[in-house]
Amino acid sequence: MQYFQTIDVNQAVERMLDRANEQPLRIEEVELSSSYGRLLAKNIAADTVLPAFRRSTMDGYAVRASDCMGASASVPAMLRLAGEVPMGEPALIPVQKGQAVYVPTGAMIPEGADAVVMVEETKTLGDLCLVYRSPAAGEHIVFPGEDVEKGEILLKKGTRIGPETAGMLAALSVFSVPVFAEPKVAILSTGNEIIGQDEALTPGKVRDINTYTIEAQMHALGCRIVSKQRMKDDKEALIRAVREAAEQADFVYLSGGSSVGARDYTKDAITALSGELLFHGLNIKPGKPTLAGFANGCWILGLPGHPVSALLVLRSVLFPYWEGRYGEKLPRVTVQARLSENMASSPGRLTMQSVTLKKQDDEWIATPFYGPSAFISQLVRADGVITVPRETEGLYAGDIVEVERLI
């Protein structure tokens, strides 16, 4: 039997991006109130300046700074009250020499005024305003364009819309938001040993784990799950299931059907759909028996059956593909840590090793967490992952390493 030809992870990602970029992503317009959690499909630039007018940053009195020159607690400047600017209304009363106009925080600054004196630094006596401090010109005033300039790009394509983003879109009067269509995902978990939640766990059987871990990861990326199915190791049935899934999804994930073996038919399913096999095998540990194909506009990805391997492959392959394709910068938290013991790796293969972290004397100590990739407990007991380059034969106790936190 001919074994698969492995390639580096970065090569795999490049092949996927090159193939995917041959066709544009679907874009749709949604209401701002329905856009939360979606990805912006275009850069958003300001079509006007913000603020659009001079605004007060304090409750106080709009004045001419020259009228208050030399004012102090013992010798206040005396100005005539000319009125006030209602919040949300245009400033219709100009400030003449020797006058003051009341302005609340955020209100428009009237013509003629070039400073605002805080209420706490004034006192009113009838129609007089006593100012006890000399303000500088421009004090407590925000000017047009000081926050945002016209044409300035405030939000970039690939930004995930959250509270802050939604507020900025509203400020820019963008209430119909261009977003990428939600990627549709189908998940097929394969293997005669896999059983669902309602079946008895008899000897030789194992729970379907990967469907739930893959589903959770896809939800976190904003994908929509369109189908989930467990499959026996039956070639014809699997091909039918992949064909049906590919007709309604953008991504079809198969777990357990990527290793070379008489009962693994993912590659055959891609061929049956007249698809293109981009790679079969990665220089990565764990996760070597991974494959990806493209058929009828749909990605078909065969992931390892072991839960830890499947999740680490998603992080190492799908994440950079996602960033390159959609423009989103996925959150990645790393810490520098000192390795507590020697750690072997596989020369020629990118090695991803789970570790635990412990704070000791103001530094992090990373300890390798060993266990078969079939153990899902490895990822919930571990605190992070060390990625060892393929050209590195191993790491030594005391080495400073970068640990990516599992968040």
The pairing of strands 176-180 and 27-31 is: antiparallel
| pLDDT given at position 393 | 86
Which has the minimum average pLDDT: 144-158, 241-255, 260-274, 277-291? 260-274
Q: Is the pLDDT at 380 greater than 90, yes or no? A: no
Contacts of 165 (CB under 8 A, 6+ apart): 40, 155, 159
pLDDT of residue 305: 85
Return d(Cα 404, Cα 364) in angstroms, integer.
12
Contact of 24 with 171, CB cutoff 8 Å: no
pLDDT of residue 37: 96
pLDDT of residue 345: 87
- pLDDT score, position 221: 96
Q: Is-contact 165 44, C-beta < 8 A?
A: no
pLDDT above 80: residue 327: yes
* Structural domains of the chain, with CATH: 9-26+181-326 (3.40.980.10), 28-50+152-180 (3.90.105.10), 55-142 (2.170.190.11), 334-405 (2.40.340.10)
Q: What's the sign of the alpha-carbon dihedral 130, 133, 136, 139? A: negative
Q: If you average pLDDT over residues 203-225, what whole number do you get?
A: 93
CB 168 within 8 A of CB 160: no
Q: How far is CA 45 from CA 68, 160, 169, in A?
A: 40, 16, 10
Assign 10 a pLDDT band (cuts: 50, 70, 90). Answer: very high
**Confidence category of residue 198, pLDDT binned at 50, 70, 90:** confident
Q: What Å distances lie between residue 34 and 38, 41, 298, 344, CA to CA?
A: 9, 15, 26, 49
Name the band, by pLDDT with cuts 50, 70 and 90, for residue 406. Answer: confident
Confidence (pLDDT) at 192:
85
Torsion of CA 174, 38, 165, 403, to 10 degrees: -160
Residue 1 has pLDDT above 50, yes or no: no
pLDDT on residue 264: 62
Q: Are 363 and 338 in contact (CB under 8 A)?
A: yes
Query: 3-state DSSP call for residue 239?
Result: helix
With a cut of 80, say whether residue 203 has pLDDT above it.
yes
* C-alpha–C-alpha distance, residues 210 and 188, integer Å: 9
Residue 263 confidence class, pLDDT cut points 50, 70, 90: very low
Give pLDDT, residue 175.
98
- What is the average pLDDT score of the chain? 92
Q: What percent of the chain has pLDDT over 90?
A: 77
pLDDT band at 103; cut points 50, 70, 90: very high
**pLDDT digits over 77-96, tens only?**
999 999 999 999 999 999 99
pLDDT for res 9: 95
Q: Is the pLDDT of residue 259 over 90?
A: no
Whether 384 shows a pLDDT value over 90: the answer reads yes
State how far the Cα of 399 lies from the Cα of 233, in Å rounded to an integer. Answer: 45
| Mean pLDDT computed over 172-184 | 98
pLDDT tens, residue by residue, 331-367? 999 999 999 999 988 888 999 999 999 999 999 999 9
* The model's pTM: 0.86
